[in-house]
Structure 1
Amino acid sequence: MNITQLDLNLMQVFLQIYENKSLSLAAEHLNLSQPAISHSLKKLRDYFDDPIFVRSRGGMVATPFSDGIYPNVKQAITLLQTPILAHKTFSPEQCNTVIKVAVSDFNGAFLLPKLAVYLSEHAPNVELQVVHLDRDTVHQHLASGKLDFAIGSLFAIADAGLYQTRLFEDNYVCVVSNKHSHIQNTLSFDDYITAQHVIFSVEEKGVRDSDAYLKQQQQTRRVVMRVPYAANIVKIVEQTDYICALPTKIATAYCQGLAVKQFPFPFSIPHYQVNLYWHQRTDCSAQHKWFRQTLKSLM
């Protein structure tokens, strides 16, 4: 008996005949012709050297051999079908899984509250594990499965195995204290270059490009403080004459309840861009596709 001659389709035929006691019903459930079912039954009989099923007035009756192998065949087919069906279909309401995401607190302040509300309503059994975005290890962790996704705008894809999609773009604004000594109702170019700036330790590309523009104008801005946490930046601004530049969505998230105001940037700089990154090994996962679509819809 050579097990390599026994394929999964034959065992599916065996199950359907056993459970329905009918060749015609087995053919209907498997979307096959009755001659095809009869041909498969012949192959099963030849392989096992057993009648497998015999005709009776009540339909096809299993032999003792078939009764003996049915439980194991049923279990094996179920074990194979479960991950296959889960791969093709995904129900967030019934999903009980962990999704691991790396994001900076800079972006997390805007993204995570929206995501938390959505998951609590539509995927209550999904556990979201959020870790700080480390640009030095993110590629490795996505490839190894330690991370499912990374959200950011600070790194380019150097690994051909990583995919990305744009989550959103945003304009920058300048945040100023309501009690600022001389910036009141507008923010001019001169106000910007003469002000004292507090900045995020690793500034985004758009703000860095603003320095290149100032250099072309033979101007510079004065940076007096570099802070690793965006929440601290706006609180510092609230109590001083410092100003800071933040994307509009993030500024809105951090500035709620603070005595600060926002002004449009006094000159043109590139938009703030945030991308979602994942590894190619999870690209076809139904669960991952759902999460990617969910994030984009929330933006």
Structure 2
Amino acid sequence: MLGKEIDIEKIDLLSLSILVLLYENKSATMTSKALRIPAPKISRCLKQLRDTFGNELFVRQRYGMHPNEFADQLYPIARNIIDTAKAFNRLDPNIIKSRQDYPIAIPDAISCTMMRSLINLVHDKEHPIGISLELWNGNSINEVLNGNLSFAVSCHYSQEQLQAYSDKLEVIPIKSMENLYVLSREGHSILDSDISFERIAEYPFVYTEFGKPEERASAFQRFCLGEGIPLHTEITIRNVASLIDYLINSDALALTSYSSLYDKFSEIPLLHSCQLAHRETRRMLDKFPCSTLFLVRQKGVRDANLDWLVDRVISLIQANLN
């Protein structure tokens, strides 16, 4: 229970945007750059939020600002408010639009490598359409349901479980991701010999899931628990830029099913990525299903341009992911 009644009038959209970005990026510097406002402004807004809620919200640690349990409760509410407010940007003051705009959400692990291809795809269309690309977050499926997103690309273990969110959703399978990739800094000691789940667990682990509804543990974490393999999960990161910064300066490891991250890490100095041996991957997949990418859209909503965009995005993802 809260110790005092919250004065809602003291909460503004900028402060909520700061809270959301701090929660997602764990970095005041990245938040400052993303919002294009100076660091002192970030500090003042955060202080105002702390005073308003009567809670510290974030704790400064070695690798950035980390949310506490109360911030965990605030985040989905703040995220929903910010996403709803974005609808103002889609209002047309001239009433007549020169082109149709489609807001879509795609996991950061995919958009970080296919952004240029997606832009070219839309620009090369005979009658160009507009897209508003947002990163997938835990509220994206609800945003599709309420019409604020034309569609979202989501990652899940089961089409049936994803479909269970609503009978108003059309869930289209895109691609099963049956490979696993180890992400680390360059020269990491784990690279000196064959990599197994047991060896991965010898190092600090970064839990990084992209495009999935919130879950308590990844398949790898559940596998280690079931096999009695001690695993220290050091931090949760769901932002590619933050993951890169963290791994460059750490002995921690991350495990992902996105080949797009494997490709991106292979191109960045001081980082390394490698595919886990098939026999090792099968150890986990024999106990837990592999992740699959799905495109989620509203049922019964048909538009020629939207159908075209859905088909092209699906083809683009299939072509870019191994």
- TM-score, normalised with respect to structure 1: 0.59
Shift of 1:294: 0.8
Match in the other structure for 2:261? 251
Match of 1:221 among 231, 235, 238: 231
- Superposition pairs for residues 200-239 of structure 1, below 5 Å? 200=208, 208-239=218-249
Shift of 1:161: 0.9
Question: What is the root-mean-square deviation in Å for CA atoms of aligned residues?
Answer: 2.7
State the distance in 1 between where 2:291 and 2:245 align.
22
Match in the other structure for 2:291? 272
State the distance in 1 between where 2:135 and 2:255 align.
22
State the distance in 1 between where 2:291 and 2:113 align.
13
Shift of 1:278: 0.6
Match of 1:100 among 92, 103, 111: 103
State the distance in 2 between where 1:272 and 1:258 align.
29
**Correspondence 1:281 to 2:300:** yes
State the distance in 1 between where 2:251 and 2:166 align.
43
Shift of 1:185: 4.7
Q: Deviations over 1:51-103 (max 9, x none)?
A: xxxxxxxxxxxxxxxxxxxxxxxxxxxxxxxxxxxxxxxxxxxx931111022
Match of 1:112 among 111, 115, 127: 115
Higher Rg of the two aligned structures:
1
Q: Percent identity?
A: 11
Match of 1:133 among 136, 143, 149: 136
Match of 1:152 among 151, 154, 163: 154
Q: Can you give the 5+ residue segments of structure 2 that lack an aligned partner in the other structure?
A: 1-97
What letter matches 1:210 in structure 2? F
Shift of 1:290: 1.0
Contact in 2 for aligned 1:166/1:276 (Cα 8 Å)? yes
My pick for the range that moved more, 268-277 or 177-186, is 177-186
What letter matches 1:164 in structure 2? V
Q: 1:218 to 1:203 in 2, by over 3 A?
A: farther
State the distance in 1 between where 2:141 and 2:297 align.
10
Match of 2:201 among 182, 193, 196: 193
State the distance in 1 between where 2:144 and 2:238 align.
24
Contact in 2 for aligned 1:174/1:262 (Cα 8 Å)? yes
Contact in 2 for aligned 1:199/1:223 (Cα 8 Å)? yes
State the distance in 2 between where 1:245 and 1:123 align.
41
State the distance in 2 between where 1:135 and 1:123 align.
34
State the distance in 1 between where 2:211 and 2:234 align.
14
State the distance in 2 between where 1:222 and 1:211 align.
9
How many residue pairs end up in the alignment?
A: 202
Contact in 2 for aligned 1:197/1:225 (Cα 8 Å)? yes
Q: 1:219 to 1:233 in 2, by over 3 A?
A: same
Instruction: Name the SS for the 1:274 alignment partner.
Output: strand
Contact in 2 for aligned 1:187/1:263 (Cα 8 Å)? no
State the distance in 2 between where 1:249 and 1:287 align.
29
State the distance in 1 between where 2:268 and 2:139 align.
35
- TM-score, normalised with respect to structure 2: 0.55
